[in-house]
Amino acid sequence: MAGQCIFCSIIARERTAHIVHETEDCLVFLDSRPLFPGHCLVATKQHVETLLDLPDPLLKPLLAAARLIARAVERGLGAEGSFVAVNNRVSQSVPHLHVHVIPRRKGDGLKGFFWPRTPYRDEKHIEEVLASLRAGVAAAGR
Ligand code: DGP
């Protein structure tokens, strides 16, 4: 699958991405079109198209990784909460199951399904956010 699927290519390290965290079954990386800095995608390493296709043994590992990252955005980035979402087919632009974990703050402007995209200022900004997220992952894992 790695040849055709962009997320399989990221998982195979054939395509670059800013990787936040890795577990046995999932890879967590920054969304290249973030709603807010720190917007993470938690993808299953196994190529599964939608949540509906997820094999039972991967349910817990996927949700556990999403929960870890939801904690990490609070502990690492100081988010007040998070929006955790999965698009299945409709509005799903990459047909490889991934959970969006989006840091939220009150009054951040995310209303309904109008999603303002907030690009990183530069590579340094990405590295700062990555470092904070990784620190959050370490703190959340304790
Ligand atoms: P969805 O629309 O739910 O399928 O979300 C797919 C997300 O994936 C979208 O917010 C942008 C992101 N994305 C697309 N291509 C790439 C890529 O090559 N690298 C990274 N890091 N993110 C990508």
Residue 2, pLDDT score: 45
pTM for the full predicted model: 0.88
d(CA 75, CA 77): 6
Task: Evaluate whether residue 27 is within a structural domain.
Answer: yes
Residues of the chain with pLDDT > 90, as a percent, come to: 87
Element (H, E) at 9: helix 6-11
Residues 32-46: tens digit of each pLDDT? 999 999 999 999 999
Task: Evaluate whether residue 119 is within a structural domain.
Answer: no
Nearest-CA residue for ligand 1 atom 17 is 32
- In this structure, the number of other CB atoms found within 10 A of the CB of residue 104 comes to 17
* Mean residue pLDDT across the chain: 93
40 C-beta closer than 6 A to ligand 1: no
88 C-beta closer than 6 A to ligand 1: no
Residue 1 has pLDDT above 60, yes or no: no
93 C-beta closer than 6 A to ligand 1: yes
Residues 78-118: tens digit of each pLDDT? 999 999 999 999 999 999 999 999 999 999 988 766 667 88
How far away, in angstroms, is 95 Cα from ligand 1 center?
10
Task: Evaluate whether residue 130 is within a structural domain.
Answer: no
How far away, in angstroms, is 40 Cα from ligand 1 center?
10
CATH assignment at residue 72: 3.30.428.10
Task: Evaluate whether residue 93 is within a structural domain.
Answer: yes
d(CA 81, CA 138): 18
How far away, in angstroms, is 87 Cα from ligand 1 center?
11
Residue 109, pLDDT score: 86
Task: Evaluate whether residue 104 is within a structural domain.
Answer: yes
Beta bridge partners of 103: 82
Task: Evaluate whether residue 52 is within a structural domain.
Answer: yes
Q: Which atom of ligand 1 is nearest to the CA of 35?
A: 10
Task: Evaluate whether residue 108 is within a structural domain.
Answer: yes
- In this structure, the number of other CB atoms found within 10 A of the CB of residue 7 comes to 23
How many domains does the structure of the chain reveal?
Answer: 1
Residue 110, pLDDT score: 83
7 C-beta closer than 6 A to ligand 1: no
- Domain carrying residue 76: 6-114
